[in-house]
Amino acid sequence: MTTVDISLPLSHIPVSESAHPGLGLKNRKILIVADDRAKVRSLCEILRPAGYAVSDVNSGEAVMDSYAQFDPDLLLLDVALPGVHAFEICRYLKNLRGPDAATVIFIASRSEPAEVVDGLAAGGVDYISRPFREMEVLARIRVHLLNRLRLAQLHKEDKAKSRLLCMTAHDLRNPLVSVRALSHLLRGGAAGAVTPDQRDLLDTIYDASQSMLDMVTELLDRSVLDAGELKLTLQPASLAALVVSCVKLNNATATQKNSTIVLECGALPEQLPLDAPKVRQVLNNVLGNALKFSPPGSTITVATAMTATECTVAIRDQGPGVRASERDRLFKDFSRASARPTAGESSTGLGLSISYKIMQAHAGSIRVENLPGGGAEFRLVFPFAG
Amino acid sequence: MKLTGKILVVDDEAHIRKFVTLFIQSLGDLTVLQAANGLEAREIYERERPNLVLLDVNMPRVDGLQTLRSLKELDPHCTVLMLTSLVNRQTVEECLRLGALGYLRKDNPPDEMIAQLRRILTTALAPSPPKVA
């Protein structure tokens, strides 16, 4: 990554890009949105000699056309613009273009604190005001453009890292599959009789490779999601049948921990548009966690219900609950909470973030609340149009 | 019924070929041939005419899809089962369209995979019914 020192004192900031090459600011495009010609002229006089490509537009109504044509890196947006308010333009632009939208600096004649706050809340990053002081205007623009470049660079690197993670996880899977399969064959006597001690060692190899395989699969899911490749195939499916099958599947794990899963089947619509394998993944993840984090001998309750607008699956455990300070980051990547599995089970801290993305992609949600008597309730909500 | 026949396992990873071979051999009196890439697969197929081909989807250079095409060109009646790790629906659909019998997840738990192999081989290796004159 290119690191750029932006901590230069103002007096050392070069006016012309050619005096300070390599920052990537030369010919960066700035669109001035103002109907006051004097403002436009004086800004052009400052910006053009500094090596920026400058264009201008005199109304809020015309700004999107100019934006599309000119594709600016930065907008200087006059708060005194007649017609559509500058903050509205900024908000619209940020909603439309997301993180790729041009950086917005407002041109203000006076800076009332409330107005400043509103402008920053609308997505602007700074203000400049008249009389324009050349050094200050250039310094502010320079800082914000450099931040923009850095952010773009970070996004690019983040994507590259996701790709690398995806490839690594993918390449690690097959050898693990083989270690698991070969230890399975060995312990089954495929290469001759095994003693109880050898069998015990082979069981350990088998379990360790299984647990690594689960972790690598989660990593892979996560990196696929990061690369924006979460594609749902929505088909009418029965949520109730999915819940029942996941409860059955997890019953084996529950039995090992002497725990019980109780299913309280409330009414659910016969069919919902779902990506069944992905929803199964979410259910298995949340149910798996409930078992993992509850002490042996616990009762996990899975309850389904529906209203006129949504269907819910609530999974209640008897674990330590989720600390208030951890609730917000629980659904973020690698965010293992302070709670630990109670029987040494493995966890990458990715399962819930994957579940979160899958639920979001279904226009649904996943939330967690602590239960008054202890334990936590994870609630999966699917929208339902009557 | 003891299974008999000749199976060709095509996968670029030797360890995968090894365990798939052992899984198959645990099911009966089966001869397993191995190929590490699509070109080798075509050569062995031409020479040995196996009853069934287990073909990895994701291989470098000549991938499973291309190999499937080439095998079907050689013998339109060849029985091919795709081996996959993670299911890429599009690729699998394309393989089915090209005449593959189906697909088998090599990352399924061993017991499950052996049971699936037993079902598939029982059908694929069953003697064809006598032709009515």
pLDDT at site A211: 86
Average pLDDT of the residues in B21-37: 94
pLDDT at site A263: 93
Quote the mean pLDDT of chain B: 90
Min Cα distance B107 → chain A (Å) is 6
Strands A103-108 and A74-78, sheet pairing: parallel
Neighbouring residues of A157: CB distance < 8 A, sequence distance ≥ 6: A1
For residue A365, give the 3-state DSSP assignment.
strand
pLDDT at site B129: 58
User: Of A180, A220, A233, which is closest to B110 when you measure between CB atoms?
Assistant: A180
pTM of the predicted model over 0.80:
no
Q: Which residues pair with A304 in a beta bridge?
A: A265, A313
Question: What pLDDT digit, counting tens, does each position of A233-263 carry?
Answer: 788 999 999 999 889 888 878 888 899 999 9
pLDDT at site B75: 96
Question: What pLDDT digit, counting tens, does each position of B31-86 carry?
Answer: 999 999 999 999 999 999 999 999 999 888 889 999 999 999 999 999 999 998 87
Per DSSP (E only), the strands in chain A are 29-33, 53-57, 74-78, 103-108, 126-129, 235-237, 260-265, 272-274, 299-306, 310-316, 365-370, 376-383
pLDDT at site A6: 40
Number of H helices, E strands in chain A: 10, 12
Residue B116 has pLDDT above 50, yes or no: yes
Residue A242 to residue A279: CA distance in whole angstroms: 8
User: Of B13, B106, B110, which is closest to A184 when you measure between CB atoms?
Assistant: B110
> What stretch of H or E contains A202?
helix A196-226
- State ipTM: 0.83
Residue recorded with tokens 């436009």: A40
Q: Which of B84, B117, B75, B90 is nearest to B11 (CA)?
A: B84
pLDDT at site B21: 96
Question: Does A21 touch chain B if contact means CB atoms closer than 8 Å?
Answer: no
Residue recorded with tokens 């690197």: A157
CB contact under 8 A, B89 and A233: yes
Strands A376-383 and B28-35, sheet pairing: unpaired
User: Of A175, A184, A190, which is closest to B15 when you measure between CB atoms?
Assistant: A175
pLDDT at site A325: 78
More confident residue, B96 or B92: B96
Residue A298 to residue A293: CA distance in whole angstroms: 10
**Total beta-carbon pairs less than 8 A apart between chain A and chain B:** 43
For residue A116, give the amino acid letter: V
Residue B24 to residue B110: CA distance in whole angstroms: 12
Question: For each of chain A's 386 residues, which pLDDT tens digit applies?
Answer: 444 444 444 344 444 444 445 567 888 999 999 999 999 999 999 999 999 999 999 988 888 889 999 999 999 999 988 888 899 999 999 888 888 899 999 998 766 778 888 899 999 999 998 889 999 999 999 999 999 999 989 988 888 887 788 778 878 888 999 999 999 999 999 889 999 999 999 999 998 998 888 888 878 777 766 666 677 778 899 999 999 988 988 887 888 889 999 999 888 888 899 988 889 889 988 999 899 889 999 999 999 999 888 999 999 999 988 888 777 778 876 555 566 666 656 565 677 888 888 898 888 999 999 998 889 999 999 988 76
**Disruptive mutation site among B9, B12, B15 for chain A (greatest number of A CBs within 10 Å):** B15
